[in-house]
Structure 1
């Protein structure tokens, strides 16, 4: 089996992926590499003919209050249809450009803008309606940004646009052998030779699931280097052997350049994915039809948010 995790971004230079192959009861993990040409991503991962599980640090799902007005039965059907709707991905510069058919906002910072105003422009009841259940804060981690929001350091809207528009939607529309977790069912039931299963994995959630802590900002090399021993111990628990290049990257804190945090994130995501594949972390999907059809979930997350959505 092949496991991989890609740390995604609107900027190609910020897209990094870590890959591991399972043989018997253990894994060999390679050092992170640039994702490269997105048109070749799926063929490259599927070239061995083995089952592939690919974690992605980007939203796979949309909020239920927005989805309630959609005609499609579920998120995968909706996503496949976006291959014929490029206007959907145009980020609105002003609120009067926002609509359910053009939900991403804002193109740039504007004085006085709020998420409540964004929600109102989409016909939603309030700012909370912009978030999926898995985006909300839990007792163990802060909230993530809403899917359609594209401003700020923790926004994920731009990564969603880049991945949905440039390769996931066209691949689904073309009938590529892709399954989307959790919409198609539990992870282990989706793994098959010649198929790639996509799952949403958050590095911040992965860090918690792996029992790791950073002593400072992940954007700085020194805290990443200080975590090396704990990261190696987590890999040993999961029976993951690093290649010499990966071992060197871990010891070095993944480099001094700006992409160091991206290389760390894709390794954290890879280990969290392997933990679920090998049963060290549960393949938990809440029993909520909106989650299973439209919102999606974060792989390995078991905590429900502090504020639960009804309906």
Structure 2
């Protein structure tokens, strides 16, 4: 089996992927590399005909309040249909341009740019309707940004646009051998020779799941270097052996350049993915039809948010 995790970005130079191969009851993890041409990503992972589990640091799903009334049966079907609707991915410059058919906003910081105004432009009852259940704050972590929001350091909308538009939607439309977790079912049931199972995995959530704590900003090399010993211990618990190059990179705090945080994130995501594959972390999917059909979930997350949904039908 092959496990991989890609730390995604709108910027190609910040798209890194870490890969590991199962060998007996252990894994051998390689040093992260740039993703490169996105059209080569899936063919490269599937070239050997083995089952592939691919974690992605980007949203796989849309909020239920926005999905109400959609004709498609679920998120994968909706995503496949976007191949014929390129305008969907245009980021609205003003609130007047926002609509259910063009939900991403804002293109830049302007007056009146609030999530409440964004929600109103989409016909939602309030800003909470912009968020999926898995985006909301839990007792253990703060809230993530809404899927369609595209401004600020905490946004994930631009990564969603880049991945959905450029390779995931085309792959689904072409009936490529891929499945999206949790929409197609539990992760282990999606693993088959020559097929890839894609799952949403967040490095910040992975850090918590692995029992690790970063003493400082992940953008700085020094805190990443301090984390090295605990990270190696987590790898040992999961029976993951780093290649010599990866061991050196971890000891060095993933490098001194600006992409060091991206390399660390894809390794954290890879370990969280392996934890679920090997049963160290549960493959938890809440028993909620909206999550299973439209919203999706974060792999390995077991905590429910502090606040739920008014709409549950």
1:155, distance to aligned residue in structure 2 (A)? 0.2
Question: Please, which moves more after superposition, 106-115 or 211-220?
Answer: 106-115
User: 1:61 corresponds to which residue?
Assistant: 61
Normalised TM-score (structure 1):
1.00
Distance 2:61 2:223 in 1: 32
1:111, distance to aligned residue in structure 2 (A)? 2.4
Gapped regions of structure 2 (runs ≥ 5): none
Distance 1:184 1:8 in 2: 22
1:303, distance to aligned residue in structure 2 (A)? 0.1
Distance 1:187 1:271 in 2: 15
Structure 1 stretches of 4+ moved >3 Å: none
1:263, distance to aligned residue in structure 2 (A)? 0.2
Distance 2:112 2:91 in 1: 18
Distance 1:187 1:160 in 2: 21
1:112, distance to aligned residue in structure 2 (A)? 3.1
Distance 1:300 1:181 in 2: 12
User: 1:202 corresponds to which residue?
Assistant: 202
Say which SS state the counterpart of residue 276 (structure 1) adopts.
helix
The Cα offsets for residues 76-101 of structure 1, whole Å up to 9 and x where unpaired, read as 00000011110000000000000000
1:69, distance to aligned residue in structure 2 (A)? 2.3
Say which SS state the counterpart of residue 76 (structure 2) adopts.
helix
User: 1:20 corresponds to which residue?
Assistant: 20
Alpha carbon RMSD of aligned pairs, Å? 0.5
The Cα offsets for residues 188-222 of structure 1, whole Å up to 9 and x where unpaired, read as 00000000000000000000000000000000000
Q: How many residues align?
A: 311
Normalised TM-score (structure 2):
0.99
User: 1:213 corresponds to which residue?
Assistant: 213
1:42, distance to aligned residue in structure 2 (A)? 0.4
1:48, distance to aligned residue in structure 2 (A)? 1.1
Say which SS state the counterpart of residue 65 (structure 2) adopts.
helix
User: 1:187 corresponds to which residue?
Assistant: 187
Distance 1:113 1:53 in 2: 38
User: 1:164 corresponds to which residue?
Assistant: 164
- Report whether the alignment pairs 1:9 with 2:9: yes
